[in-house]
Structure 1
Amino acid sequence: MAKTKMAEHMTKGAGFIAALDQSGGSTPKALRLYGVEESAYSTDAEMFDMVHAMRARIMKSPAFNGEKVVGAILFEATMDRDVDGIPTAQYLWEKRGVVPFLKIDKGLEDEANGVQLLKPIPGLTELLARAAKAGIFGTKERSVINAANPKGIEAIVAQQFALGAEVTAAGLMPILEPEVTITIADKAEAEELLRDAILRHLDALPAGQKVMLKLSLPTKANHYKALVDHPAVMKVVALSGGYSRDEANRMLSQNAGMIASFSRALSEGLNAGQTDAEFDATLAKAIDAIHAASVAG
C-alpha cells in the first residue's frame, strides 16, 4: 500500500520536508519575495494561480525529489490543483517520490495566557476524508506560543493532541505544530515547558499510535532529543521561524535527529524572472544545504 511505503519513507528517508503551504495571509509576501508584486494580480483567484505556478515550478525542478526532500506540506488549494495534469499529491508521490501532507489549520485565536490556540476548523471531517482520498499522507496544524506561560502551553499542547487524535482516526498522520515565537525573551523557558507537556501527552497515547512534531529550532541544542527518541514520534521536524536559511541550517545541524521543514528558507533566492537553469541551480543549492543540515546530526 502507498500509505505503508510513505510511512517507511518518512521514517527512514534521509531528507527534509518542504513547506509549500503559504495561505491567504502569507501568500502576498511569498509572491513578493519571488519577485511578483501585488500589482501583478487583482483577485484572490489570480493570486493563488500565481503562487500555484511558483509551487509547481519548485515541484518540477530536478533537485526536488525524494532523495533529499522526503515530504512536502501543501495548502488546501494546492491539493485541489494539478501539476502537469496530475493531481498534486499524486504527482508528488508518484513522480517525485515525495510524501504529501496537508495544512489544515484555519488561523489563530486571539492571544490568551501567552498563546494563540487554533481556531475551529469548519468541515474538518469532510476535509480529512477528501485529503485521504487525494492520497495525502498526513496533516499539519500550527498554533503559536508567545510566552512561557504554563497554563497556556498546556492548553496549546492539549488542543494539538486532541486534533491529532481526529486526524489519526481519519487514517492520516498528524504533524503537531505548537510554534514558539523565536523573538520572545523567555523562549528557552517556553521550550522547557513545551517539551515537558508534549512528553506527558506522548506517554498517554494509545499503544502503537504515532504523531509527528514540528517545532521551532530550540535555543539549547538537542533540547528536544527526548521527543526525537520517543517511540510514539515518527519524526521531529524544525521550522525556520524567521531565521535566515544559513542560521536555521547552522542551528538545525546541532540537533541530532531533527530534520528541516522550511518554507521561506527553502524558497530564499528564487525569482519569477529567473531562467529555468537559474531557478533550478538556486533551488538545488538550497536543497543541498538544508538536506546537509537535516542529516548532520
Structure 2
Amino acid sequence: MNHEQMTARIADGQGFIAALDQSGGSTPKALRGYGVEDGEWSGDDEMFAAIHAMRSRVITAPCFGEGKVIGAILFEKTMDGTVDGKPTADALKDRGIVPFIKVDQGLADEANGAQMMKPLDKLDALLEKSVANGMFGTKMRSIIKSANPQGIADVVAQQFEVGNKIADAGLMPMLEPEYDITASDRAEGEDILLAEIKKGLDALPEDRQVMLKLSIPVRPGHYTTLTEHPRVLRVVALSGGYSTDEACEKLAKNPGMIASFSRGLLQDLRKDQSDEQFDGCLRSAIEKIASASAAG
C-alpha cells in the first residue's frame, strides 16, 4: 500500500485499529496478562523479545489479516523488528493493515489536573526512521484527570503543536488526549476538551488533517462533530481500562468512532494456547470490536 491507499484505508475502512504499542513500564503487565511471568525474562532485551513474540503471533494469526483490522499501532522496537522475516510494517501492509508508531516518551508529572507528554527529544530521529520504514502515522498520549480548563488546554495545545511537526515530516499524527475514565467530573471535562480540540482543528491549514484517539465519552455521541470535521481523518476510541464487553457496548453508542483497543483486544490471549485456541480467542475479540465499531 502506498500513502494514498493507506489514507483511504483509514478514512473509509470498515474495522478498527489494533493498539500493539505497550512499552517500558507497561510491558511486564502486558506479559503477565499473556501468561509470561517476570521470572521468565531478565533485562530489557529479553522482555522486549518476549513481547515481540506475542505481537508477532497476533500479527500472523489467520484472523488478524481478514480485513477487520485496518490499522495497528506499534512500539519502536516492534517497528525495528521482523515478522515472518519481513520488517514489521511491511508484514502489516501485506495483510492490508496500516502501520502507526507510538512516538511519545512517557508522561510528565501531573499539573493542573493533567499529565502532559515529557519533552520529545528523540522525536526528529524517530520520525526520520519511521518514514524510512514506511510507516503511515504516529500516536502520542497525554492524560486528563480532572475538568481543569488550564490543564486540558495545555494538553491539547501540546498535542497539536507536536502533531504539526509530525505532519511536516510526512506522517499522519494521531492525537491522544486521553480522559481518565475514573474521573468524577469527566462529563464536564469532556465539554472543555471538545471545545479545545475544535479550536485546534479550526487553526489547522486547510490541506492538513489529523486523527484523534479519545476515551469513549460519558454522553453518547459527544464527539460526533469531530468525526464530521474536515480536518479529521478518523476518530478512534481507546478502551481506557474497560473490559472488551464494556468498551464495545459503550463504543457502539457513538456514531463515527471506531475502536483502537489494546486490553480490549488482547485480554484473553495466553502463551500456552494452541495456535487454534489463540486464533479462536483473537477472532472472537476482533469480531466483537469490529461489530461495535460498525454500529457507531
TM-score (normalizing by structure 1): 0.99
1:47-66 matched pairs, under 5 angstroms: 47-65=47-65
> Which digits, 9 at most, give the CA deviation of each residue in 1:198-256, with x for residues without a partner?
00110111012000000001000000001011000000000000111100000000000
The aligned amino acid for 2:39 is: S
Alignment of 1:81 onto 2:81? yes
Which region of structure 1 is more displaced relative to structure 2, 121-130 or 101-110? 121-130
1:163-202 matched pairs, under 5 angstroms: 163-202=162-201
1:205-284 matched pairs, under 5 angstroms: 205-284=204-283
Could you tell me how far apart the structure 2 residues matched to 1:240 and 1:150 are?
A: 24
What is the match of residue 130 of structure 1? 129
Could you tell me how far apart the structure 2 residues matched to 1:111 and 1:126 are?
A: 27
1:7-18 matched pairs, under 5 angstroms: 7-18=7-18
Could you tell me how far apart the structure 1 residues matched to 2:130 and 2:167 are?
A: 13
Q: Which runs of 5+ in 1 are unaligned?
A: none
> Which digits, 9 at most, give the CA deviation of each residue in 1:1-58, with x for residues without a partner?
7011000100110010000000011000000000010010111111110100000000
Could you tell me how far apart the structure 2 residues matched to 1:282 and 1:108 are?
A: 32
What is the match of residue 72 of structure 1? 72
Could you tell me how far apart the structure 2 residues matched to 1:66 and 1:271 are?
A: 21
Deviation at 1:123, TM superposition (A): 2.4
What is the identity percentage for the equivalent residue pairs of Structure 1 and Structure 2?
Answer: 56
The aligned amino acid for 1:73 is: I
1:282-293 matched pairs, under 5 angstroms: 282-293=281-292
SS in 2 for 1:174: strand
Deviation at 1:137, TM superposition (A): 0.2
Q: Which runs of 5+ in 2 are unaligned?
A: none
Could you tell me how far apart the structure 1 residues matched to 2:260 and 2:102 are?
A: 13
What is the match of residue 3 of structure 2? 3
> Which digits, 9 at most, give the CA deviation of each residue in 1:104-163, with x for residues without a partner?
000111111111000011221111011011010000000000110001101100000000
8 Å CA contact retained: 1:66, 1:98: no
Counting matched residue pairs gives 296
Deviation at 1:65, TM superposition (A): 1.8
The aligned amino acid for 1:259 is: I
The aligned amino acid for 2:43 is: T
Could you tell me how far apart the structure 1 residues matched to 2:105 and 2:186 are?
A: 25
Could you tell me how far apart the structure 2 residues matched to 1:119 and 1:24 are?
A: 14
Could you tell me how far apart the structure 2 residues matched to 1:88 and 1:154 are?
A: 36
8 Å CA contact retained: 1:225, 1:257: yes
What is the match of residue 155 of structure 1? 154
The aligned amino acid for 2:221 is: N
SS in 2 for 1:183: coil
What is the match of residue 107 of structure 2? 108
Following superposition, which runs of at least 4 residues in structure 1 exceed 3 angstroms of deviation? none
> Which digits, 9 at most, give the CA deviation of each residue in 1:168-214, with x for residues without a partner?
00000000000000001101111110001000110111012000000
SS in 2 for 1:25: helix
Could you tell me how far apart the structure 1 residues matched to 2:179 and 2:282 are?
A: 27
Could you tell me how far apart the structure 2 residues matched to 1:4 and 1:216 are?
A: 28
Could you tell me how far apart the structure 1 residues matched to 2:64 and 2:118 are?
A: 33
Could you tell me how far apart the structure 2 residues matched to 1:213 and 1:65 are?
A: 24
TM-score (normalizing by structure 2): 0.99
SS in 2 for 1:262: coil
Could you tell me how far apart the structure 2 residues matched to 1:2 and 1:201 are?
A: 28
The aligned amino acid for 1:251 is: K
SS in 1 for 2:24: coil
Could you tell me how far apart the structure 2 residues matched to 1:60 and 1:123 are?
A: 30
Could you tell me how far apart the structure 1 residues matched to 2:47 and 2:109 are?
A: 27
Could you tell me how far apart the structure 2 residues matched to 1:57 and 1:206 are?
A: 41
